Structure 1
Amino acid sequence: MAYNPKQLAVNCSLLAGQLLIENGANMERVNDTMYRIAENAGLHAFQAFTTVTGIVVSAEHESNAQTVDIRARHNDLSKVARVNEISRLFATKKISLSEMYTQLKKVDKGTPQLSITTQCLGAAVLSLTLMIVFTGDVKDSWAAFLIGGACYWIYLYLLRKFKIKYIGEFVASLLIGFLAVLTTKLGWTGNLNDIIIGSVMPLVPGVPLTNAARDLVSGNLISGPTRALEAIITAMAIGCAIVIVLRYA
């Protein structure tokens, strides 16, 4: 489909903003990238209204605004880095507007995700490492490695099946608590709390909390509280599951 230059510039800015929000960028970065693309493309009177669930864009005082609905959000910082790289290439005139749009579409559709096995292995290594860092317990770190990796697989499975991450986080945390209690009662491990601390780390909402703080500091009073609430609900799902297990174990 052929676009006129102004419409193509709006589409590029909108797609870049969508990719950044969907993959874990904070709103200050989103707005900065969108406005830079518009400026370098020669758009005048460019305005963008961004939230974690949608973007509204207008330019050249035209009556029709462009919108995009954002329903899924992940933490894929490789896509964020790629969008920023493409934006810089366009700013330095190394690629044209149409080339930028083509590359952004490739990032949207063609960037492969890590396999389930790789993600679970990464979660297992993270659980082991952070357990040692936070608690200094090396002897029981093998349990955090196995429990953290296995329960992260459960989380990914439930996320794909129900499309509600809080269900996956709650159930995975329940299993983490149960397995930690089980290995302790069987005498295989010695410190229940250390294993739980390490195993839940892959589920902890670090990126949403960081982005919430950055959005609040930068004055974005819509996305900041929204992301903070999202992180709080995740923390509640994890905490309530662990409390249930420890209460009735």
Structure 2
Amino acid sequence: MDEKFNATIETCLIAGKIILQSGGETYRVEDTMTRIAAALGLQDAQSFVMPTAIIFTADGGSAHPTTRMVRISERSTDLRKVTLVNAISRRISSGGLSAEEALAMLRQIDASGTSYPLWLQVVAAALVSGSFLIMFKGEWYDFGAACLAGGIGYYGSYWFHRLVAIKFFAEFLAAWIIGVVAFVMVHYGAGRDLDAIIVGSVMPLVPGVLITNAVRDLMAGHLVSGISKGAEAFLTAFAIGSGVAFVLSLFSKGVGL
């Protein structure tokens, strides 16, 4: 099996892996891998993508096709990486990149970190929280409280994801923190509408991209991926709601400050 064939398969797998881990849809992953394989000379390549694994099969001219699988253990949202992989895929399709050149570029993208530093993400989450508060017809008086609660909640979610391996536990704790911060702000007069502050603050935690991808995968006929992503989005939303409900139930029973 020659080096070009191996490089082609590796290029397809790492391109699909980056897109899937960065929040891309299942059909986009399969389409990108098929287009790259065809552009590099593998016309009969087949791929099967699930949220947790990628299976790719290609025939390099031998009697037995080569099948490889990549396990996907972590998924996030980084649309910059999806855009970069799509750009490389277009260059491959136009004949502007060889398999070896594309593979080197994809490995560099895969090894790179997030687009923005953590402090900027926290600031953005805080501003988003305040903006959603206003969009939901909240008062400007509560804008600062929503920003503070949303920023602290997002920061907590980031670290809980790194410290706790259990899925959805980080969302529950982050929502719990948001509820506590919002209640403290209202209790000491820094906010007025507790419900509006909490609703605005939890919006950065809501799995909007996951919900969108679940619907798009279902519409594209990828039932397994669509249902599994929908279930993950539902459980994430349930964890967020449970964290807020837990705080509200505590303080409604007289657990004051």
TM-score normalized by the length of structure 2: 0.92
Which secondary structure does the structure 2 equivalent of 1:65 belong to?
A: strand
Which AA in structure 1 matches 2:12?
S
In 1, are the aligned partners of 2:130 and 2:147 still within 8 Å (CA)? yes
Q: Secondary structure at the match of 1:43?
A: coil
Partner secondary structure for residue 69 of structure 2 = strand
Between Structure 1 and Structure 2, how many residues are aligned? 248
One-letter amino acid of the counterpart of residue 124, structure 2:
G
Kindly state the Cα deviation for residue 188 of structure 1 after the two structures are TM-superposed.
2.2
**1:113 positional shift:** 4.2
Gaps of 5+ in 2: 252-257
Structure 2 equivalent of residue 29 of structure 1? 28
- For 1:109 and 1:145, how far apart are their aligned partners in 2? 32
Determine which of 97, 101, 117 is the counterpart of 2:99: 97
**1:62-103 per-position Cα deviation (integer Å, ceiling 9, x unaligned):** 343111111011101110000000101111112222111110
SS at 1:139 equivalent: helix
Distance 1:224 1:62 in 2: 32
CA distance in 2, matches of 1:133, 1:156: 25
Residues 45, 87 of structure 1: alpha-carbon distance in 2 compared, 3 angstrom cutoff: same
Consecutive unaligned residues of structure 1, counting only runs of 5 or more, are none
Q: Distance in 2 between matches of 1:64 and 1:84?
A: 25
CA distance in 2, matches of 1:3, 1:172: 50
The structure-2 alpha-carbon separation of the partners of 1:165 and 1:116, relative to structure 1 and needing over 3 Å to count, comes to farther
> In the alignment, residue 153 of structure 1 is paired with which amino acid?
Y
Residue in 2 aligned with 1:7?
6
Distance 2:166 2:105 in 1: 30
Superposition pairs for residues 1-249 of structure 1, below 5 Å? 4-60=3-59, 62-249=64-251
Shift of 1:166: 1.3
3-state DSSP class of the match of 1:94?
A: coil
Query: CA–CA distance in 2 between the matches of 1:245 and 1:3?
Result: 60
Q: Distance in 2 between matches of 1:96 and 1:111?
A: 25
* Separation (CA, whole Å) in 2 of partners of 1:168 and 1:112: 19
| 1:112 Cα deviation after fit | 4.6
Identity, % of aligned pairs?
A: 37
Instruction: For 1:31 and 1:17, locate their aligned partners in 2 and report how far apart those are by CA, in whole Å.
Output: 7
SS in 2 for 1:222: helix
Q: Deviations over 1:179-204 (max 9, x none)?
A: 21222222221111110011101100
Quote how far apart the aligned CAs of 1:134 are: 1.9
Change (3 A) 1:223 1:240: same
Query: Aligned AA for 1:247?
Result: S
- What is the CA–CA distance in structure 2 between the aligned matches of 1:90 and 1:192, rounded to whole Å? 53
SS in 1 for 2:54: strand
Equivalent residue letter for 1:59: A
Superposition RMSD in Å: 1.5
Query: Deviation digits for residues 1-40 of structure 1, max 9, x if unmatched?
Result: x952222211111111111101100011111101100111
Structure 1 residue 58, shift from structure 2 partner: 0.8
2:255 match: none
Q: Distance in 2 between matches of 1:15 and 1:100?
A: 10
The one-letter code sitting in structure 2 at the alignment partner of 1:10 is: I
Structure-1-length-normalised TM-score? 0.95
Q: Secondary structure at the match of 2:223?
A: coil
